[in-house]
Amino acid sequence: MKLDLDEFLILLLRQLEGYTNWTEDRHIERILRAHPEACRLQEDMLETFPQQPFSDNRQAASPRPALGPARVRRLRNIAAALLVFVITGASLFFFSSRGEQLYASTAPAPEVTLQIAGGEAIRLGDTNRTIPVKDALLSTHSEMLRFTAKTAGDPARYNTLLVPATRLYSITLADGTVVHMNAGSALRFPFAFNSRRREVYVEGEAFFSVAPDAGRPFIVHTPQGDVTVLGTAFNISTYGNRFMLSLVSGSVAIAGRKGAQAVLKPCRAAIMDSGGLLRETDFESEQVLGWLRGQYRFRQQSLREVCNVAERWYGVAIRLDNKELGQLKYSGILSKKEPLDIFLDKLRSNGEVYGYYYDTDGAIVLKTHR
């Protein structure tokens, strides 16, 4: 029996919320017997939200009280992140398989590059291979980089992983922390952390699953400020001059460059404006974490924001023929599995975008009138 992780996640959520029937419970049991990764996902979810005992005789059992909206949202956010971790253990199943058409262009996608401290630049490519460098032995597997430091190394020597437009990539750091990187992002990291703290620098967007280490805090430096954690999972986005940190589990402390500070609890996000002010809000995992599985979900977002995402994912420039067009609101889904023309047709079907054309420099221009 092939495991459909999306279906299994929905079943687990329904069971945790008390809504599954006898047949669905038996189906969950069969999946757990057949798939070890499903067992790990269930164990992690039950540790976070212990399930109340229930009777197999559902009609005789008293109904379970409905969960409040905040608790349901927290369940879904935690489950979404746990799903990412389980899939990561299964050879990054959530990234698109090789045979699928990801982009409209037939030109080869730009390569992920590792800039080694000291100057050497290595194109990582998509093949599985082992690459010896001065301070470490690199191992690439599809869209994942792992490495083994040859010696204790110099924590002051930082390497830079550059993920270009159209690409997604992941890296496991020296302490076991896993970082999933979105298109158009960069991560600076050492091959070995020092004995007091673990520090990295990120620009763009990345999801961190930080390995616990009470004696060495993990610090993420961004252009807008610093994030300090001990062991947690969170998404951080610094595209443009925007900062948003969405916490899935654990706790983080944020210190902005202009003095703003905040300590976040799970399922809360911190957004910093251009003036350095921080505000907290809830977040929806489908919107914030969807990129990890190759999807962006937009809900009443400006067309300019939507086009910014499409530029990174498809590697093309998108211009609007007037400023008012950029303020229009758009709701929908952008999938990396879909060619560029499908995305553009979706924009056109929204009603406000009449059409598009390619400019002389190759950029796409969206039109609002005939």
Query: In the chain, what are the domain boundaries?
Result: 5-89, 113-288, 294-367
Q: Which of 24-28, 129-133, 354-358, 363-367 has the lowest mean pLDDT?
A: 24-28
Q: CA 263, 269, 274: angle at the middle one, nearest 5? A: 90
Structure-block tokens of residue 138: 């690199």
Average pLDDT on 278-293 reads 90
With tokens 């990120």, the residue in question is 202
pLDDT score of 20 = 66
**Whole-number pLDDT of residue 319:** 92
Residue length of the chain: 370
Name the pairing type of β-strands 159-163 and 113-115.
Answer: antiparallel
pLDDT of residue 60: 40
CATH annotation of 294-367: 3.55.50.30
**For residue range 95-132, what is the model confidence (pLDDT) as tens digits?**
332 233 333 333 456 889 999 988 789 999 877 889 99
Backbone phi, psi, residue 228, to 5°: -115, 130
Cα–Cα distance list, 295 to 6, 17, 61, 90, 299 (Å): 13, 26, 40, 19, 13
At 97 the pLDDT is: 29
On the question of pLDDT at 163 being above 90, the answer is yes
What architecture is the 113-288 domain classified under in CATH?
Answer: Sandwich (2.60)
What confidence tier does 286 reach under pLDDT thresholds 50, 70, 90?
confident
Helical spans, DSSP H, in the chain: 5-16, 22-34, 36-48, 69-89, 285-288, 303-314, 323-326, 340-349
**Between 158 and 38, where is the model more confident?**
158
**For range 20-47, the mean pLDDT:** 72
Mean of the per-residue pLDDT values of the chain: 79
Q: Count Cβ atoms within 10 A of the Cβ of residue 85 and give its class: 0-12 exposed, 13-18 middle, 19 or more buried.
A: middle
Distance CA 189, CA 275 (A): 28
| pLDDT per position as a tens digit, 202-243 | 999 999 999 998 889 999 999 999 999 977 899 999 998 889
Lookup: tokens for 96:
């698109």
pLDDT value, residue 204: 96
Q: What is the mean pLDDT of residues 45-72?
A: 47
**The two structure tokens encoding residue 282:** 């809830």
Give the whole-angstrom CA distance, residue 17 versus residue 13: 6
pLDDT at 103: 33
